């Protein structure tokens, strides 16, 4: 498939060597941002996800939510429509502009903040009952210091008794058994091919090919589940619970995605 319609994501001549936390801003260029909603398909994603997040957040009495990786605004908009008070943050100005536009189309004025997670509390005001970091976003971080710093910033942005909800792909399965995806929950768009083109213990390079022949990539860190849970614990989070594809019980290799709930007590 040709990649002529794709805009340059500036991976350089050896894309597999690009393992840089700061690179995400170049990966979400206006070309890929424009395609993101085709990839996730809001209606199908809302249907497959159901009320999972809305219900869990309500059960916990959450009112104020900080969506730290709002992307094009899918969760921010859904949560606003469910009655939550939401602030939408992202480090990419292009993503935030798209989120704002998507919100406006649905009759909402999103409160957007451009903030890199590593300096989150410099740019946001106040504390939140929940911080959500969804869509495999956290695995854009390529070194442990960035991960620790980010989790510490998330912790600090939470009220006492607040909850962090952070999801990730099942990289254990990709690293240990190879890639397979039911493609049911997250990337729901039709006729879009998504798979890891390159995998080693330090990099998973995903390829996204669209029906108009455009091709984009994301370089992500293959975060193992146990390691992610340990980092959260070490930063101070407690009672970490990990769901697999929205279910409490699962066989380890089965889910495409894990969703961690980590409490600040």
Minimum separation from the CB atom of position 265 to ligand SAM (A) = 26
Number of amino acids touching ligand SAM (CB under 6 A): 17
Instruction: Look up tokens 């602030």; give the residue.
Output: 87
- Cβ closer to ligand SAM: 219 or 242? 219
Work out which of 92, 112, 173, 219 binds ligand SAM, going by CB under 6 A. Answer: 92
Element housing 66 (H / E): strand 64-67
CA–CA dist 99, 81 (Å, integer): 15
Alpha-carbon distance of 30 to 32, in angstroms, equals 6
DSSP secondary structure code for residue 223 in this structure: -
Nearer CB in complex with ligand SAM: 97/175: 97
And the tokens for 115?
A: 């903030």
Q: Closer to ligand SAM by CB, 98 or 264: give it.
A: 98
Who contacts 265 (Cβ-Cβ below 8 Å, separation ≥6)?
A: 160, 161, 238, 239
With beta carbons less than 8 A apart as the criterion, state whether 239 and 263 touch.
yes
In this chain, which of 6, 18, 23, 28 binds ligand SAM, going by CB under 6 A?
A: 28
- Closest to 207 measured CA to CA, from 217, 198, 220: 217
Distance in angstroms (rounded) separating the CA atoms of residues 92 and 113: 10
Residue 7 C-beta: closest distance to ligand SAM, Å: 16
Binding mask 108-137 for ligand SAM (x = CB under 6 A): --------xx----------------xxxx
Least CB distance to ligand SAM at residue 176 (A): 23
Q: To the nearest whole angstrom, how small is the minimum distance from the Cβ of residue 65 to ligand SAM?
A: 13
Can you give the binding site for ligand SAM, defined by CB under 6 A? 24, 28, 40, 69, 71, 74, 90-92, 95, 116-117, 134-137, 140
């Amino acid at each position: 498939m040709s990649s002529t319609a794709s805009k340059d994501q500036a991976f350089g001549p050896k894309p597999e060597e690009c393992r840089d936390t700061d690179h995400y801003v170049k990966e979400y260029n206006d070309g890929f941002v424009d395609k993101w909603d085709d990839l996730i398909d809001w209606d199908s994603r809302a249907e497959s996800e159901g009320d999972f997040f809305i219900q869990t957040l309500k059960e916990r009495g959450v009112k104020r939510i900080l969506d730290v990786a709002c992307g094009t605004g899918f969760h921010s908009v859904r949560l606003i429509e469910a009655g939550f008070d939401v602030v939408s943050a992202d480090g990419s100005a292009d993503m935030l502009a798209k989120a704002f536009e998507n919100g406006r189309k649905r009759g909402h004025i999103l409160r957007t903040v451009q903030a890199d997670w590593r300096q989150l509390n410099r740019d946001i005001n106040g504390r939140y009952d929940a911080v959500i970091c969804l869509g495999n976003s956290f695995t854009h971080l390529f070194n442990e210091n960035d991960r620790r710093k980010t989790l510490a910033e998330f912790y600090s942005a939470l009220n006492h008794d607040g909850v962090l909800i952070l999801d990730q792909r099942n990289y254990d399965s990709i690293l240990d058994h190879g890639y397979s995806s039911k493609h049911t929950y997250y990337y729901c768009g039709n006729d879009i091919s998504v798979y890891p083109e390159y995998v080693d213990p330090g990099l998973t390079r995903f390829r996204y090919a669209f029906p108009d022949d455009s091709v984009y990539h994301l370089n992500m860190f293959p975060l193992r589940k146990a390691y992610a849970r340990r980092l959260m614990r070490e930063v101070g989070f407690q009672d970490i619970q990990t769901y697999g594809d929205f279910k409490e019980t699962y066989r380890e290799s089965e889910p495409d995605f894990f969703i961690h709930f980590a409490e600040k007590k």
